[in-house]
Chains A and B, each alone.
Chain A
Amino acid sequence: MDRQDIRKGVIASIKAIAPEVDESELLADRPLREQVDLDSMDWLNIIVSLHERFGIDISEGDYAKLATLDAIISYVAERVAPHLRAGGE
């Protein structure tokens, strides 16, 4: 799984909650919640979706690290990559 795969998965999780999101208009280095109308229930559902898709636990204390699309991808990559190496990739 490379960064591009992770990006696809993250976008899919966001679009599952906010289907109106246009990927090409999303600024990856700008705060997500300034660009997408997400309330706290939407946000929790995105976190749950990321948890299910990538098999990672995201603590509430880490929410602040997930402000932008780039930040979410990096956060997921850090946790998914070691797991893949352990799996013999």
Chain B
Amino acid sequence: MIKFKLPSLGADMDEGKLLRWNVVPGQRVNKGDVIAVVDTSKAAIDVECWHEGVVHQLVAELGQTIPVGTVMALLLGPGEATPATGGPTSSAGGAAALPASGIGPARGAATNLPNSDASVPPSFLQAVAAAAATPRRRVSPAARQRAAALGVDLDRVAGTGVEGAVTREDVERAAAGGARPTPPPPAAVERTTETRKAIATAMSRSKRDIPHYYLAETVPMRNALDWLRDLNVQRPVTERLLTAALLLKAVAVAVRDVPELNGLFVDGAFRVSAAVHVGVAISLRQGGLVAPALHDVGAKDIDAVMRELTDLVKRCRAGSLRSSEMADPTITVTNLGDQGVESVFGVIYPPQVALVGFGRIAERPWAEEGRVAAIPALVASLSADHRVSDGHRGALFLARLRNLLQRPQDL
């Protein structure tokens, strides 16, 4: 039996409220499938499954707020048999078979399982029992009765009543096969407050635990801008590249030479990451920001980076991010150039150990070979963790970044 747990959603999000199940018991799932949607203080996030198997039981309940690491569902691995007394639970007739007290399947599973499968580890049973012990969501008596009569599984009915309570109408809609309405999103103000709290928690932790040092370097951008202009003039509008894609790619390549900037500091030790998953700081229109990952930027060509960046920003603004994107970044890039600032010295997003900042591209006086000329340039900055690297290595990174951006065609 595979315990599928709510995966990490990044340093500033430690719980999520289950909005929707995308799977039902008995359904086959593959690696990467989105099996549920949870709401966090920042955005709704698609929860991906990294196991292959068949859904045996949905443990977490709709509307329930669950901490990261909580068992959400039980899966049968490839070739694994269904436990004798279990059977795919929560199937359509399930609610009708419940005792009059209306105890949900989670508790039923917790009491049945000790007899049914001796190989199940105790920790798993505790987790299931813990899930069962959490307060149940509200279901009106009329709705419960109606569900029993119609053979509707209450666990798969989204509630639209007060505090997400399931009403008789919700049950009838579900029975009619109508689209399950998702609970109304929290008011914008509430989410903004929650977002600020989440950011404050993560950033306070960063400033408390990470001894930051900061470096900056002015990067001439003439070659990069000329190269982009020449490329874009030949391209349809849908295939144009933004400077942002070039900067992300340059960071991913430059960090190969200074690997101690790319990875995670966990349990008192730094672990280098072989792949460079660049967290892209994206501001949300309703306020706040998220920094989801563009995966393996170093290994992708610039067109792929641009395509994925476009997709990521679009989904981020639409509030549909994936759990892997929230947890995976190994270094973050923030680009405030569009807002017109000269430079930005960011706060590292734990457990990462470095953050690269870009200011605006503007014409600046540039002295070279005894002459002064006006050239487009930007200030690139590095905030890095002194527990892992020092200024000398950080300076090497910025120098490498500057040099790479002088030869954009090689990126």
Count the A-B residue pairs with Cβ separation under 8 angstroms: how many? 38
Q: Select which of A18, A20, A40 is within 8 A of B242 by beta carbon.
A: A40
19 pairs, A vs B, C-beta closer than 8 Å: A19-B285, A37-B285, A38-B338, A40-B242, A40-B244, A40-B338, A41-B242, A41-B313, A44-B240, A44-B242, A44-B310, A45-B310, A47-B237, A51-B237, A51-B238, A57-B236, A57-B237, A60-B232, A60-B233
- Closest-by-CB residue of A relative to B282 is A41
Binary per-residue interface labels of chain A (26-66) against chain B in the complex, 1 for a CB within 8 Å, 0 otherwise: 00000000000111110011011001000001111100000
Task: State the interface size on chain A (CB cutoff 8 A).
Answer: 18
Task: State the interface size on chain B (CB cutoff 8 A).
Answer: 18
Q: Are A48 and B313 in contact (CB under 8 A)?
A: no
Residues of A within 8 A of B (CB): 18-20, 37-41, 44-45, 47-48, 51, 57-61
Q: How far is the CB of B47 from chain A (nearest CB, A)?
A: 26
- Indicate whether A61 sits within 8 Å of B233 (C-beta atoms), given known contacts A18-B285, A40-B242, A40-B244: yes
Binary per-residue interface labels of chain B (308-333) against chain A in the complex, 1 for a CB within 8 Å, 0 otherwise: 01100110000000000000000000
Mostly helix, strand, loop or mixed at chain B's interface?
helix
Q: Is B243 an interface residue (CB 8 A)?
A: yes
- The answer for the CA separation of A47 and B229 in the assembled complex, in Å, is 16
Specify which chain A residues have a CB less than 8 angstroms from the CB of B240 in the assembled complex: 44, 60
- The answer for the CA separation of A60 and B283 in the assembled complex, in Å, is 25
Specify which chain A residues have a CB less than 8 angstroms from the CB of B313 in the assembled complex: 41
Q: How far is the CB of B51 from chain A (nearest CB, A)?
A: 34
Residues of B within 8 A of A (CB): 229, 232-233, 236-238, 240, 242-244, 283, 285, 309-310, 313-314, 338-339
- The answer for the CA separation of A23 and B310 in the assembled complex, in Å, is 26
Specify which chain B residues have a CB less than 8 angstroms from the CB of A60 in the assembled complex: 229, 232-233, 240
Q: How far is the CB of A72 from chain B (nearest CB, A)?
A: 14
Q: Are A41 and B309 in contact (CB under 8 A)?
A: yes
Q: Are A48 and B237 in contact (CB under 8 A)?
A: yes
Specify which chain A residues have a CB less than 8 angstroms from the CB of B238 in the assembled complex: 48, 51
Specify which chain A residues have a CB less than 8 angstroms from the CB of B236 in the assembled complex: 51, 57
Q: How far is the CB of A12 from chain B (nearest CB, A)?
A: 17
Specify which chain B residues have a CB less than 8 angstroms from the CB of A48 in the assembled complex: 237-238
- The answer for the CA separation of A4 and B243 in the assembled complex, in Å, is 34
> 4 closest A-B pairs (Cβ-Cβ)?
A39-B338, A51-B237, A60-B232, A41-B313
- Closest-by-CB residue of B relative to A60 is B232
- Closest-by-CB residue of B relative to A61 is B233
- The answer for the CA separation of A60 and B236 in the assembled complex, in Å, is 10
Q: How far is the CB of B242 from chain A (nearest CB, A)?
A: 5
Max chain A Cβ within 10 angstroms of own Cβ: one of B229, B237, B243, B283: B237
Specify which chain A residues have a CB less than 8 angstroms from the CB of B314 in the assembled complex: 45
For the complex with contacts A38-B338, A39-B339, 4 further pairs of A-B residues with Cβ separation under 8 Å are A40-B242, A40-B244, A44-B242, A57-B237
Specify which chain B residues have a CB less than 8 angstroms from the CB of A45 in the assembled complex: 310, 314
Q: Are A20 and B285 in contact (CB under 8 A)?
A: yes
- The answer for the CA separation of A39 and B285 in the assembled complex, in Å, is 11
Specify which chain A residues have a CB less than 8 angstroms from the CB of B242 in the assembled complex: 40-41, 44
Q: Are A59 and B309 in contact (CB under 8 A)?
A: no
Specify which chain A residues have a CB less than 8 angstroms from the CB of B232 in the assembled complex: 60
